[in-house]
């Protein structure tokens, strides 16, 4: 029999990661359940669990009430002993939230502030806000996840270019916060982070091939292929929003004219409505007034839907996902809005790809996306995936 070239330490790390991913997908489980679900021997599982308990990533919960005999306590991602912090950088407002390792956000520990005019002030506000949140609990801070718009070089932890939030350009909030708090800190492009959130906490649990299109402030795409988040050379894959679809169109923050994100997003609709009515309204106000019948914008809505369908068709044709999730507000204007966009998308998409793709609204938020970014980072740092 050929000897294995996998070192014991590497095998332990692979087991640790497998246990974390199993608990993320299925929730609390006993040691016996973990042995059965992972197919890993009981002694190996027990040793890995000890490591995870000592690291603070796991904790023991109560045994199920309806269990027979003397059931073992269930293991769960840390809820009381440890926490992670999520930072959402966005154009209208920035948010800082704290959450347990299973992604449950503590709604009492949410801080919101307007993005400042310079980067130094941003880091100062973030550091003070994170410190205040950490002081409000006895939980250990295990890491910070940052969700950011624009191009994020994950290899070098650098925000390269954000047409909509230029204060972060050529800066590294992840490195700067890591230096202050001495914990793992990750910055991820918001569409990719939303993609992770949907897989960890939303409708994409168990899916290995799906895509997430964010059409809120800008337009971005996160893609899972074969169970792995599509990354590209430097983590820049999926930047669909700056595809030129109207060369004579509106000037985009990137410097080009007629980018898809200037025509197919929440912010695009709000801009079109403002130009028509002469009143500057937030997308929340636009959605509310259109739903209530206080505002009429059929041409603007149809235009945004048509261009969104172009973007969705491109995503389906290019990546052949089993499901395409859409994250945005304007599709909530009516119960028939998504169905309308799906019909438009069908006309533009290759039949074999469209027929095998489900299109749904995402259910996760940017707060959860920032949390998912750091939870995913802690999971992958624990060790390589079994089978890789």
DSSP lists the bridge partners of residue 213 as 221, 326
What percent of the chain clears pLDDT 90, i.e. is strictly above it?
71
Whole-prediction pTM value? 0.90
- pLDDT (average), residues 364-374: 96
Confidence band for 3, pLDDT divided at 50, 70 and 90? very low
Q: Given this structure, which CATH class describes domain 82-195+367-382?
A: alpha beta
- Interval 98-143: pLDDT, tens: 999 999 999 888 999 999 999 999 999 999 999 999 988 888 999 9
Confidence band for 307, pLDDT divided at 50, 70 and 90? very high
In angstroms, the CA 196 to CA 204 distance is 9
Going from the C-alpha of 332 to that of each of 32, 258, 288, 329, the distances in angstroms are 44, 25, 9, 6
pLDDT of residue 70: 52
Confidence band for 366, pLDDT divided at 50, 70 and 90? very high
Query: Which position has the higher pLDDT, 2 or 86?
Result: 86
pLDDT of residue 6: 43
Give the tokens for residue 22: 């199993």
Domain(s) labelled CATH 1.10.10 in the chain stretch across: 8-62
- pLDDT (average), residues 34-43: 92
pLDDT of residue 55 exceeding 90 = no
- Interval 163-174: pLDDT, tens: 889 999 999 999
Q: Considering only 2-11, 21-30, 293-302, which range has the smallest mean pLDDT?
A: 2-11
- Superfamily of structural domain 203-363: ATPase, nucleotide binding domain (3.30.420.40)
What mean pLDDT, rounded, does the chain reach? Answer: 90
pLDDT of residue 9 exceeding 90 = no
- Interval 199-254: pLDDT, tens: 999 999 989 999 999 999 899 999 999 999 998 887 788 889 999 999 999 999 88
Largest pairwise CA distance in the chain: 78
pLDDT of residue 1 exceeding 50 = no
Query: Which position has the higher pLDDT, 386 or 334?
Result: 334
Domain(s) labelled CATH 3.30.420.40 in the chain stretch across: 82-195+367-382, 203-363
pLDDT of residue 100: 92
- Interval 250-260: pLDDT, tens: 999 889 999 99
Q: Does domain 8-62 have CATH number 1.10.3470?
A: no
Tokens 């993005």 locate to 115
Confidence band for 154, pLDDT divided at 50, 70 and 90? confident
Sheet order of strands, 358-361 included: 228-229, 220-225, 210-214, 323-327, 358-361
pLDDT of residue 72 exceeding 80 = no
pLDDT of residue 76 exceeding 60 = yes
In angstroms, the CA 43 to CA 46 distance is 5
Question: What would the 3-class secondary structure string for the chain be?
Answer: CCCCCCCHHHHHHHHHHHHHHHHHHHCCECHHHHHHHHCCCHHHHHHHHHHHHHHCCEEECCCCCCCCCCCCCCEEECCCCEEEEEEECCCCCEEEEEECCCCCEEEEEEEEECCCCCHHHHHHHHHHHHHHHHHCCCCEEEEEEEEECCEEECCCCEEEECCCCHHHCCECHHHHHHHHHCCCEEEEEHHHHHHHHHHHHCCCCCCCCEEEEECCCCCEEEEEECCEECCCCCCCCCCHHHCECCCCCCECCCCCECEHHHCCCHHHHHHHHHHHHCCCCCHHHHHHHHHHCCCCCHHHHHHHHHHHHHHHHHHHHHHCCCEEEEECCHHHCCCCHHHHHHHHHHHHCCHHHHHCCEEEECCCCHHHHHHHHHHHHHHHHHCCCCCC
């Amino acid at each position: 029999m050929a000897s294995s070239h996998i070192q014991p330490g590497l095998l332990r790390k692979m087991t640790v990661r497998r246990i974390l991913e199993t608990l993320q997908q299925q929730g609390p489980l006993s040691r016996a359940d973990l042995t059965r679900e992972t197919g890993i021997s009981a002694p190996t599982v027990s040793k890995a669990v000890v490591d995870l308990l000592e690291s603070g990533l796991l904790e023991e919960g109560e045994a199920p009430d309806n269990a027979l005999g003397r059931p073992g306590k269930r293991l769960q991602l840390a809820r009381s002993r440890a926490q992670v912090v999520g930072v959402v950088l966005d154009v209208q407002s920035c948010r800082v939230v704290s959450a347990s390792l299973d992604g449950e956000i503590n709604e009492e520990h949410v801080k919101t502030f307007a993005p400042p005019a310079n980067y130094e002030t941003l880091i100062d506000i973030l550091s003070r806000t994170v410190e205040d949140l950490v002081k409000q609990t006895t939980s250990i801070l295990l890491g910070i996840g940052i969700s950011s718009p624009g191009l994020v070089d994950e290899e070098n932890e650098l925000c390269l270019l954000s047409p909509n939030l230029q204060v972060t350009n050529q800066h590294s909030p992840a490195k700067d916060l890591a230096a202050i708090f001495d914990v793992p800190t990750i910055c991820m492009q918001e569409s990719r982070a939303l993609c992770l959130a949907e897989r960890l906490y939303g409708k994409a649990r168990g899916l290995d091939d799906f895509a997430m299109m964010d059409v809120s402030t800008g337009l971005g795409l996160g893609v899972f292929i074969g169970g792995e988040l599509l990354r590209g050379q430097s983590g820049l894959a999926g930047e669909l929003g700056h595809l030129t679809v109207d060369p004579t169109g509106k000037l985009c923050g990137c410097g080009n004219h007629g980018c898809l994100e200037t025509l197919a997003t929440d912010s695009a609709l709000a801009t079109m409505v403002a130009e028509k009515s002469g009143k500057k309204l937030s997308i929340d106000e636009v959605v509310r007034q259109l739903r209530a019948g206080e505002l009429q914008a059929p041409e603007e809505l149809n235009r945004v839907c048509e261009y969104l369908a172009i973007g969705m068709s491109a995503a389906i044709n290019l990546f052949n996902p089993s499901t395409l999730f859409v994250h945005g507000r304007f599709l909530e204007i009516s119960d028939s809005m998504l169905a309308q966009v799906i019909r438009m998308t069908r006309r533009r998409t290759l039949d074999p790809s469209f027929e095998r793709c489900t299109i749904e609204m995402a259910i996760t938020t940017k707060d959860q996306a920032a949390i998912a970014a750091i939870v995913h980072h802690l999971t992958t740092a624990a060790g390589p995936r079994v089978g890789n």
